[in-house]
């Protein structure tokens, strides 16, 4: 069984912190989570803070300029300078606090990071060595709450990997564009889809009927009742002509208010993030956006809106 606890080791004599964390995910997925800003922004900051990237230039000689945004909108800026990159193996970089332009703030210690990635079967271990110029600098960082904050961030990453990549792999195995119909039911998805399966002599595809209780939901979602855990979070049924029906339960107990008109969407799955953005900008112009285009916990770049003619749309881009 994989040890997924974060292990911190402090060596004052060598002015070094060592952090080790194992993840139940393949190496390529963990590597992307550490090197792509759109993913880093989703897990790097401990809640209630969030990370926001200004510039990401992941290459030797490049840098990542980002800020930690607090619940009141306050911003603290950091810059990582990438020195050496061994693809899927290691990253060596320096880190310093700075202003929005990336100018170093000398009131805070600089840090020197070495991140090493290793894979065993489908498990990946990340080992981070952080060294400091002075012993006092290490102590300053610890007093600033670094251990608690970084541990919380790594727990965010563990949740991200255990939900997003798992669901992404099961629901969509390629990156081909397609159009499906997405339905919402007030707790009757399973009954409806068994009915449609019989009528169309269709087949459940993807993972068939997946329940809310089958996955680990983000921490910000309130605990579900036992009844709600049995409801369907995603259903996928292929009917005539290869067309796919998808659906989810959206009961009032979860805050939804379904009515005729908002219970059915045309679901577009573009083949790139850029095309998703283009379609969103064009189709939603003059309409009403109910969910803005953003990265979601199931691994998609997603939006939901009604166009200016009253037609409901969903955009759902998932990388391969």
CATH number at residue 41: 3.30.530.20
- Mean pLDDT over 47-60 rounds to 94
Q: Does one domain contain both 128 and 211?
A: no
List the alpha helices (DSSP H) in the chain: 27-35, 37-43, 135-143, 146-160, 166-171, 189-200, 226-229, 273-284
Q: What does the pLDDT read at residue 2?
A: 42
Do 203 and 135 share a structural domain? no
Instruction: Check whether 203 has a pLDDT greater than 70.
Output: yes
**Cis upstream peptide for 48 (omega within 30°):** yes
CB 9 within 8 A of CB 17: yes
pLDDT tens string 279-310 = 999 999 999 998 999 988 777 899 999 888 77
Neighbour count for residue 33 (Cβ, 10 Å): 22
pLDDT of 98 > 80? The answer is yes
Asked whether 177 and 270 are in contact (CB, 8 A), the reply is: yes
Question: Is-contact 66 46, C-beta < 8 A?
Answer: no
Number of domains the chain contains? 2
Give all strands of the β-sheet with 111-120 in edge-to-edge order: 7-11, 16-23, 123-131, 111-120, 90-98, 75-86, 63-69, 50-56
217-261: per-residue pLDDT in tens?
Answer: 666 567 788 888 899 988 998 887 788 888 888 877 766 666 666
The first and second tokens of residue 25, run together, are 């995910």
pTM given for the model: 0.57
Q: Are residues 120 and 15 in the same domain?
A: yes
Question: Quick check: helix, strand or coil at residue 25?
Answer: coil
Residue 2: inside a domain, yes or no?
no
């Amino acid at each position: 069984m994989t040890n997924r606890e974060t292990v911190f080791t402090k060596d004052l004599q060598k002015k070094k912190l060592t952090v080790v964390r194992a993840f139940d995910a393949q190496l390529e997925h963990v590597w992307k989570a550490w090197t792509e800003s759109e993913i880093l922004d989703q897990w790097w900051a401990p809640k209630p803070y969030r990370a926001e990237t200004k510039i990401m230039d992941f290459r030797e000689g490049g840098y990542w300029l980002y800020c930690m945004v607090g619940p009141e909108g306050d911003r603290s800026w950091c810059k990582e300078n990438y020195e050496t990159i061994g693809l899927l193996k290691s990253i060596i970089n320096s880190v310093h606090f700075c202003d929005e332009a990336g100018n170093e703030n000398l009131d805070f210690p600089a840090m020197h990071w070495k991140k090493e990635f290793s894979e065993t079967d489908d498990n990946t271990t990340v080992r981070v060595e952080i060294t400091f110029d002075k012993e006092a600098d290490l102590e300053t960082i610890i007093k600033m709450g670094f251990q608690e904050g970084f541990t919380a961030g790594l727990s965010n990453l563990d949740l991200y990997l255990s939900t997003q990549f798992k669901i992404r792999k099961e629901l969509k195995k390629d990156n081909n564009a397609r159009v499906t119909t997405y339905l919402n039911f007030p707790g009757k998805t399973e009954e409806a889809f068994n009915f449609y399966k019989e009528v169309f002599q269709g087949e459940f595809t993807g993972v068939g009927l997946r329940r809310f209780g089958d996955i680990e939901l983000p921490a910000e979602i309130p605990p579900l009742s036992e009844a709600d855990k049995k409801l369907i979070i995603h259903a996928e049924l292929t009917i005539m002509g290869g067309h796919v029906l998808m659906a989810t339960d959206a009961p009032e107990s979860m805050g939804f208010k379904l009515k005729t008109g908002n219970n059915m969407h045309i679901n577009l799955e573009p083949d790139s993030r850029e095309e998703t953005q283009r379609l969103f900008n064009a189709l939603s112009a003059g309409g009403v956006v109910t969910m803005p285009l953003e990265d979601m916990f199931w691994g998609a770049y997603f939006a939901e809106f009604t166009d200016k003619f009253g037609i409901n749309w969903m955009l759902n881009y998932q990388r391969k």
